[in-house]
């Protein structure tokens, strides 16, 4: 059997059936999660999640996204019943919560999108606190 070693993740044709038919019963979800939904990309995932919130709230919703957000990721959102509002970032590329508090003082935010730029994971706790206060 010939095996090729590469730095790129390569799927062999023989691997495809297992890749697409992975039994969900083998997936262990974190505590509190009942399942997962898989999408072909973030743009489709955010739009699908937004449509679920729209159906639950039965109204147009507001989604807060960072001012440096990829327009391509918003392409599906632009065709559904949402208000897209851009919020300011700090010099560290984290949400500027002081400005955000003022910006959304009289605005109900239904979805707050937090982005980790360049793989730097920051501001989860602050985003959670902000989201909880807006509920």
Give the model confidence (pLDDT) of 91-123 as tens digits: 888 999 999 999 999 999 999 999 887 877 889
- pTM of the predicted model as reported, rounded to 2 decimal places: 0.73
DSSP 91: T
8-state DSSP, 82: E
**Residue with token string 């729209």:** 54
Note whether 49 and 76 are within 8 A (CB): no
What's the burial of 62, exposed, middle or buried (CB within 10 Å: 0-12/13-18/19+)? Answer: middle
Torsion of CA 72, 88, 65, 79, to 10 degrees: -60
Confidence of residue 1 (pLDDT cuts 50, 70, 90): very low
Would you call 129 helix, strand, or coil by DSSP? helix
First to last CA, the chain: 58
**β-strand 82-87 against 111-112: which pairing, if any?**
unpaired
């Amino acid at each position: 059997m010939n095996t090729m070693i590469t730095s790129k993740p390569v799927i062999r044709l023989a691997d495809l059936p297992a890749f697409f038919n992975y039994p969900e019963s083998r997936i262990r979800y974190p505590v509190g999660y009942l399942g997962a939904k898989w999408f072909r990309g973030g743009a489709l995932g955010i739009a699908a999640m937004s449509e679920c919130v729209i159906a639950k709230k039965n109204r147009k919703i507001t989604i807060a996204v960072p001012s440096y957000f990829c327009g391509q990721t918003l392409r599906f959102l632009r065709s559904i019943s949402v208000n897209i509002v851009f919020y300011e970032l700090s010099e560290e590329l984290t949400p500027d919560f002081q400005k955000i508090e003022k910006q959304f003082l009289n605005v109900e935010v239904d979805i707050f999108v937090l982005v980790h730029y360049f793989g730097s994971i920051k501001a989860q706790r602050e985003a959670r606190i902000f989201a909880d206060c807006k509920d």
